[in-house]
Structure 1
Amino acid sequence: MRTDVILLRFGEIMLKGRNRARFENQIVQQIKRVLKPLAKAELHKESHGRMYVELNGESYEEAQQALSKVFGLLSISPAIKVAPELAALQEAALVEMNRYPEKPKTFKVSVRRVNKQFPHDTYEMHDLLGGHILQHVDGLKVDVKHPELELHVEIRNRDSFVYSKKVAGPGGFPLGSNGKAMLMLSGGIDSPVAGYLAMKRGLRIEAVHFHSYPYTSERAKQKVIDLTRVLADYAGSIHLHLVPFTEIQTKLKESCRDNLIITLMRRAMYRITEQLAEKRDALAIVTGESLGQVASQTLSNMNVIGRAAEIPVLRPLVTMDKLEIIPIAETIRTFPISILPYEDCCTLFVPKSPSTNPSLKVVERQEAWMEWLPEAIREAVEKTEIMLIKPEEKSEEDHLF
């Protein structure tokens, strides 16, 4: 099956006006990163925003898999590249029509003629290519409204492209084009999906995980490292901040009202994450909260907890339920890791009847009584370990800072 090049299409970045060049440069960097293992593949950029990858013998399947990790890429097409000459285009059209084991019964030809010096206009090319195909492929009919296969032909100045297939990309914005945020990453299903969706909107993320050793195991820690590694497949690398939270949790258990433990714990987490964000030049916090899913995610609790942070708190999953979240987790390959039965600190000391409608004044009064809390938060930030996680299999490249 012949594939010379892969045509690339971009979504929202094409609407960015004066910032478009910046967005294009960022997506070029990401494309080159994911294609680095395919040494012979080359990225080409033409006028009018067209980019394509010349495979030069590299595997199309491997290139497609790599490009599926590039945010901002709307779709790709495996294509045949030929000279802008009628005979070459007719031959390529036949090759493309014979690409499929099950032959279509109907087709149409769509021509885009960028090269205005080409001797045949668009309408002539429809007839010249469509007629050539009908002469050489049995059992075909033209259907311009609902064809089983649409053959696309782009005639440009130096080259022409023939293709019939579009493969969806992840869409969104190029990674890092909208700044940096801190992802509060638990070991559950939701927060990795929130991280993926945040990256899709152009955020570069750093992950923050709270652990309560010895109440949580090394396996729980490894589970979060593995989740970060999957997300790093889309980013090249991600810094993971491992925050010791045992002391704060145990003191909260000893000194505050039982039904407010979850609310106070989450507020402490927000404050720690915000301080880490300031150190890492991040401008927001990303969480996996979904409205009404658990006691701490009622609107009242979200309001009280969210006020602990002064920077924006982004909740990509806030209106989604598990039936919508799980398919995304399966697609990005975090789901099998997320369901491993290793508890994180959020499952510890959970009261039987947590408050679903806490009073902000009561919560703030409770915190004012806990004179130890600011120092405990400062110590947790100071003792936080940072790991650089890369997408490769566990190796020496994962290391502490």
Structure 2
Amino acid sequence: MKFIVKLHPEITIKSASVRKRFTRLLESNIRVVFKHRDVDAAIKNSWDKLEVRPRNQEPDHIERVRSALAHIPGIEQVLEVKESQYTDFDDIYQQVSAVWGPRIADKRFVVRVKRRGKHDFTSVDVARYVGGGLNQNFPSGGVSLNNPDVEIQLEVDKDKLLLIEDRFKGLGGMPLPTQEDVLSLISGGFDSSVASFEFIRRGAKTHYCFFNLGGREHELGVRQICYYLWQKYGMSHRVKFISVDFAPVVNDIVENCESGYMGVVLKRMMLRAASIVADNLQIKALITGECVGQVASQTLTNLHVIDQVTDKLVLRPLICMDKSDIIKRAREIGTAELSETIPEYCGVISRSPNVKASLEKTIEEEQKLNLELIEQVVRASNVLDIRNINQVFGQEAKDIEAVSDLPQDAVVLDIRSPEEEDASPLELDTVEVKHVPFYKLERVFSELDQSKQYYLYCDRGVMSKYHTLLLRERGFQNTHLYQPAKPSVANEPSKEG
């Protein structure tokens, strides 16, 4: 068994020098991935294809070859070829029928033959003999030269028979790193994960910038997604994962900005910070998972206002995709199940977000902020080699079980933003409820009566769990996580709001 690797068509139409460079990069990438996946194979680089010959023909080893080749950018399709000796036409027919006979039941088929070397027969002679035998001895739908359901390909190369037993589609795209590096602003949701994949597939080394708005558990989940994307699709090259604690910036925005402008201002602050990170990595382009019209900050007007804050090229590969198509793509590439475990951050939510933000008004709102925080949080960011991304940082995240039944003497701390609390007040008949916004909680908690037991609450349970962890780490063991029991409702998941 050997594998014939076909190049993506866009590679084959490039100039001779570019095509040669791309093919060499692809060969190198295959070798690196094979080494990581414990694959032993010889690779031969030809003008229009690569030939991979596994030195170990055991089924599990062959399956590792298949899996590796299916997920390397730049490969259009892979042919699985069985190479053998033959004696005459009947021997060729017997070998072909053993593989393809059962597969043509009730299907129209055609036999295509290529021939190399000197023979006393033609390619058409072989095709007619094999095709006639299959048609006579197997219950097929007959031979169809122009519109077959099944195409049987074989090659007679001197005294060898090369029979294509199977084929599978590759990723397409371009080999890494034929394009310049990019920095993906990744949240772990469906959108940013798919956007990152699309640039890996296109041949760009994709580094990850994560703005931590949901705490330790959020970061660990996003790390898992980034590592998955790298390991499965981009393992041939090292990239960076940069985690920026954006809580101080969020606190500043929530405390000082007009509600309707919070979303646009937050996105601009993220682009400011990402631009600094990109400069440090000598990267010129930023990637986001934004889709026009999906949420208030993603109207054309607001995207234009957001982009004015940076001189970097901001690329949005999903800009015209429907959410359902994005989720479908996430399932295809394997990130959907991971993204479904990433809770949405429940902090900056505008009650009436402005869908046509004025640039002048946005700048006016930003003048209320401490812009020095941007450089401060970037300087304090955690930069990791993607290979080490699964190392748990600091103290292990603790398991905290949510409580739905509260004791009589409990005090519930509603840590939602004022806008969220006003829109949907938490009212409990027998338990005291205090509203302490999450961005003030750490400062004021020590001033509360420490003889009481406090149960933290937010709509989605992300910030409440995060701050429960933080308070416990600071010695406040009288903190717990509160989530009211709710009937389960099947909703379409959305992770990029």
TM-score in same-fold range (> 0.5): yes
Moved more, 295-304 or 376-385: 376-385
Q: What is aligned with 1:322?
A: 323
> Which ranges of structure 1 fall in alignment gaps of 5 or more residues?
none
Equivalent position SS for 2:155: strand
- Structure 1 partner of 2:74: 72
| Alignment match, 2:227 | 229
Distance 1:144 1:358 in 2: 61
Cα deviation, residue 24, structure 1: 0.8
Q: Give the drift of 1:157.
A: 6.6
Cα 1:369–1:171 shift into 2, 3 Å = same
- 1:331 corresponds to 2:326: no
Partner of 1:376: 373
Task: State the 1:314 CA deviation.
Answer: 0.7
Aligned length: 382
Change over 3 Å in CA distance of 1:13–1:362 after alignment to 2? same
Equivalent position of 1:241 in the other structure: 242
- Correspondences of 1:142-181 after superposition (within 5 Å): 142-156=143-157, 160-181=161-182
Measured in 1, the distance between the counterparts of 2:120 and 2:4 equals 24
Corresponding residue SS for 1:166: strand
Relative distance call for 1:340 and 1:53 in structure 2 (3 A) is same
Residues 341-397 of structure 1 deviation map (CA, whole Å, 9 limit, x = unaligned)? 5344xx412110111101112222333454x30x211112211101223499x4699
Instruction: Give the direction of change, closer, same or farther, for the CA distance of 1:82–1:295 in structure 2 (3 Å limit).
Output: same
Contact 1:180 1:282 in 2 (8 A): yes
Aligned mates of 2:129, 2:321 — CA distance in 1: 51
2:363 is matched with 364
Cα shift readout 1:145-197 (whole Å, capped 9, x = no counterpart):
33342110234479652115331111111122111100000031110000001
Change (3 A) 1:240 1:45: same
Partner of 1:96: 99
Matched residues in 1 for 2:364 and 2:386: separation?
A: 40
Contact 2:101 2:138 in 1 (8 A): no
- Structure 2 residue identity aligned to 1:65: S
Residue matched to 2:194: 193
* Match of residue 8, structure 1, among 2, 5, 26: 5
Deviation at 1:22, TM superposition (A): 1.3
Percentage identity across paired residues of the two chains:
25
Separation (CA, whole Å) in 2 of partners of 1:391 and 1:130: 55
Structure 1 residue 311: Cα displacement: 1.5
**Residue of structure 2 equivalent to 1:29:** 28
Which structure carries more relative contact order (alpha carbon 8 Å, separation 6+)?
1
Cα 1:157–1:228 shift into 2, 3 Å: farther
| In structure 1, C-alpha distance between the alignment counterparts of 2:392 and 2:347, rounded to whole Å | 32
- Shift of the alpha carbon at 1:68? 1.7
Aligned residue for 1:299? 300
2:411 corresponds in structure 1 to none
* Letter matched to residue 323 of structure 1: S
CA–CA distance in structure 1, aligned partners of residues 155 and 11 of structure 2: 22
Structure 2: give runs of 5+ residues left out of the alignment. Answer: 394-497
Alignment correspondent of 1:43: 43
Aligned counterparts of 1:10 and 1:157: Cα–Cα separation in 2: 25
Deviations 1:304-328 (A, max 9, x none): 0011111111101100011100111
Question: For the Cα contact (< 8 Å) 1:170–1:200, is it kept in 2?
Answer: yes
The answer as to 2:278 corresponding to 1:277 is: yes
Query: Secondary structure of 2:171's partner?
Result: coil
- Alpha-carbon deviation of 1:107? 2.4
CA contact (8 A) 1:5 1:81 kept: yes
Aligned twin of 2:349: 350
Cα RMSD of the aligned pairs, angstroms, is 2.6
Tell me which residue corresponds to 2:109. Answer: 107
Distance 1:174 1:138, change over 3 A: same
SS at match of 2:172: coil
- Alpha-carbon distance in 1 for matches of 2:281, 2:197: 20
Equivalent AA in structure 2 for residue 33 of structure 1: V
